[in-house]
Amino acid sequence: MIIAPSILTADLGNLGESCKSAIDAGLDRLHLDVMDGSFVPNLTFGPPFISMLRDVLGNDVLFDVHLMISNAENTFQQYIDAGCNHISVHFEAVNHLHRCITAIQESGATAGLALNPSTPIENALEVLPILDSVVVMSVNPGFGGQSFISSVENKIRRLRKAIDDQVSNGGKVVEIQIDGGVKSHNIRSLRDWGVDNCVVGSGLFNNTGTVEQNLAELRKALK
């Protein structure tokens, strides 16, 4: 199970140290939630901030950026130029999805499609052969620290079967990432459903324990 720490709930006033604490604990990637205040009801940061973070952390950390913005087709290159390795876009926010996914990949990053809790899985199946990942949102996007929506289990299980069938027929391996409400009490169930990658925000960055302690709890739950 890959654990991708989301900086959305980290100490933004001391972000460099917060991120370094996750890396020092053995994690090799960061999940960066970009929000525009239009597609989702919140505003976070953009390419200049990400570029600064890349300068602080160096090139060994994978930057997984989740574009919760309405103009991803026109701006994704700015995020790649800022140092992002993987870019996920939302089905509802892209006009020409196939073109956008292939353009991201041709620009040197891997590409994912994010599905809101109410977005049908069929929208991902149409482009599954070219995707690198599918992000299943288990909360409604826009804010950190939300509660997990358990009804996404069926979506994950159907997606797992579709990917396994695709691979069995010689197709591409596609990673399933889940984003929202992941904690030590449910991470093992997520793995059993077929999730490969969990975005964890408040489950890692909180006031009840250090990142190292919280990560140890997550890994203990997976055992």
Give catalytic residue positions.
33, 179
Distance CA 98, CA 125 (A): 12
Q: Which two tokens stand for residue 137?
A: 């949102």
Single-letter code of the amino acid located at 162? A
Single-letter code of the amino acid located at 101? I
Single-letter code of the amino acid located at 208? T
Neighbouring C-alpha atoms within 13 Å toward the C-beta of 133: 29
Q: Decide if 31 contacts 64 (C-beta within 8 A).
A: yes
Q: Decide if 54 contacts 63 (C-beta within 8 A).
A: yes
